Chain A
Amino acid sequence: MQRNSLWVAVALALAAPLAQADDLKALREEVAQLKKSYEDRIAALEKRLADAEARPATTAASAPVVAGTGQVGAGSAFNPQISLILDGVYFHDNKGGGSTEMYEHIDGINHSHEHEGHAHGELERGFNLRETELAFSATVSPHFDATALMTVSRDGDVELEEAYFDTRSLPYGLKVRGGKFLSGIGYLNAQHPHQWDFVDQNLPYRTLLGEHGLVDTGLRLSWLPKTGNWFTQLGVEFLQGNEQTFASSGEEIADVRADGAPLAGTAAGELAGKKSGPRLTTVFAKFGPDLGINHALQFGGWYARSSQHQEVHDHSAENPVALVTALQGKGKAWGLDAVYKYDAGRYGGQGNVKLVGEYLRLNKDLKVAFHEGGTLVGTPFDFVQDGFVVQGTYGFLPYWQAGVRYDATGLTNKVDMPSGSPWKGNKSDRWTFALTRHIDHFSLLRLQASRGNLWVEGAKENANQIFLQYQHSLGAHGAHSF
Chain B
Amino acid sequence: MKRLWLFLFLLVAAPAWALEVVATTSSMGMLARTVGGPRVKVTELAPPDRDAHMLQARPSMMRALRDAQLVVAVGAELEIGWLPAAMNGAANGAILPGRAGYFEAAAQVPLLDAGQAADRAQGDVHPAGNPHVNLDPARMATIAKALAERLAQLDAAHAADYRERAKGFAAAVEEKLPAWKQKTAGSGGAVLYHKDGAYLLHALGLTLHGMLEPVPGVAPTASHLEALAGKLRGRGGRQGVIVHTPYQPPAGAEKLAGLSGWKVAVLPIDPPAGADANAYFALIARWAEALAPSK
Binding site for B on A (CB under 8 A): 54-59, 61-62, 65-66, 68-76, 142, 145, 166, 168-171, 173-175, 222-224, 226-227, 229-231, 233, 286, 288, 290-291, 293, 296-298, 341, 343, 345-349, 398-399, 440-442, 478-482
Per the 8 Å Cβ criterion, residues 250-295 of B in contact with A are: none
Residues from chain B with Cβ under 8 Å of A58 in the complex: 110
Q: Judge if B168 is at the interface, Cβ distance under 8 Å.
A: no
The interface centre, meaning the residue of A166, A173, A399 with most chain B CB atoms within 10 A of its CB, is: A173
Which interface class (under 10, 10 to 19, 20 to 34, 35 or more) fits B?
35 or more
For this complex, 23 residue pairs linking A to B, each with C-beta atoms less than 8 Å apart, are A56-B110, A56-B114, A62-B106, A70-B102, A71-B102, A72-B76, A72-B131, A74-B126, A75-B114, A169-B93, A170-B93, A229-B60, A231-B60, A231-B63, A231-B66, A290-B63, A345-B50, A347-B51, A347-B248, A349-B54, A441-B124, A442-B124, A480-B57
Binding site for A on B (CB under 8 A): 47, 49-51, 54-60, 62-63, 66-67, 75-77, 80-86, 88-93, 96-98, 102-104, 106-107, 109-115, 117-118, 120, 123-124, 126-129, 131, 202, 217-219, 247-249
Residues from chain A with Cβ under 8 Å of B219 in the complex: 348, 398-399
The docked-state distance in angstroms from the alpha carbon of A180 to that of B224 is 48
**Is A171 a contact of B57 with CB atoms below 8 Å?**
no
> Chain A residue with minimal CB distance to B117?
A76
**Is A298 a contact of B91 with CB atoms below 8 Å?**
no
> Which of B76, B81, B117, B129 is close to A479, meaning CB atoms less than 8 Å apart?
B81
The docked-state distance in angstroms from the alpha carbon of A233 to that of B63 is 10
Residues from chain A with Cβ under 8 Å of B126 in the complex: 74
**Is B85 a contact of A174 with CB atoms below 8 Å?**
no
**Is A440 a contact of B217 with CB atoms below 8 Å?**
yes
> Which of B59, B75, B118, B131 is close to A482, meaning CB atoms less than 8 Å apart?
B59
**Is A173 a contact of B127 with CB atoms below 8 Å?**
no
- The smallest beta-carbon distance between B54 and chain A, in angstroms, is 7
> Which of A57, A286, A440 is close to B114, meaning CB atoms less than 8 Å apart?
A57
> Which of B75, B89, B115 is close to A71, meaning CB atoms less than 8 Å apart?
B75
> Chain A residue with minimal CB distance to B67?
A226
Residues from chain B with Cβ under 8 Å of A169 in the complex: 93
Residues from chain B with Cβ under 8 Å of A293 in the complex: 47
**Is B124 a contact of A440 with CB atoms below 8 Å?**
yes
The docked-state distance in angstroms from the alpha carbon of A345 to that of B47 is 9
Residues from chain B with Cβ under 8 Å of A75 in the complex: 114-115, 118, 127-128
Residues from chain A with Cβ under 8 Å of B91 in the complex: 170, 173-175, 222-224
The docked-state distance in angstroms from the alpha carbon of A58 to that of B104 is 17
Residues from chain B with Cβ under 8 Å of A57 in the complex: 109-112, 114-115, 129
**Is A481 a contact of B60 with CB atoms below 8 Å?**
no
A71-B104, A72-B107, A441-B217 are known contacts. Are A59 and B114 too (CB-CB below 8 A)? Answer: yes
**Is B114 a contact of A65 with CB atoms below 8 Å?**
no
**Is A173 a contact of B66 with CB atoms below 8 Å?**
yes
- The smallest beta-carbon distance between A319 and chain B, in angstroms, is 50
Residues from chain A with Cβ under 8 Å of B58 in the complex: 288, 296, 341, 482
A72-B129, A341-B58 are known contacts. Are A479 and B82 too (CB-CB below 8 A)? Answer: yes
The docked-state distance in angstroms from the alpha carbon of A145 to that of B54 is 25
The docked-state distance in angstroms from the alpha carbon of A70 to that of B66 is 20
- Contacts beyond the supplied A166-B88, A480-B57: 6 A-B pairs with Cβ under 8 Å: A71-B104, A173-B92, A226-B67, A286-B59, A348-B219, A442-B120
**Is B114 a contact of A288 with CB atoms below 8 Å?**
no
**Is A478 a contact of B118 with CB atoms below 8 Å?**
no
> Which of A70, A222, A231, A288 is close to B107, meaning CB atoms less than 8 Å apart?
A70
- The smallest beta-carbon distance between A179 and chain B, in angstroms, is 16
> Which of A68, A168, A343, A440 is close to B50, meaning CB atoms less than 8 Å apart?
A343
**Is A68 a contact of B98 with CB atoms below 8 Å?**
yes
- The smallest beta-carbon distance between A25 and chain B, in angstroms, is 42
> Which of A175, A226, A290, A440 is close to B218, meaning CB atoms less than 8 Å apart?
A440
Residues from chain A with Cβ under 8 Å of B115 in the complex: 56-57, 59, 61, 75
The docked-state distance in angstroms from the alpha carbon of A445 to that of B47 is 30
> Chain A residue with minimal CB distance to B62?
A231
> Chain B residue with minimal CB distance to A169?
B93
**Is A168 a contact of B62 with CB atoms below 8 Å?**
no
> Chain A residue with minimal CB distance to B87?
A479
Residues from chain A with Cβ under 8 Å of B51 in the complex: 347
> Chain B residue with minimal CB distance to A352?
B56
Residues from chain A with Cβ under 8 Å of B129 in the complex: 56-57, 61-62, 72
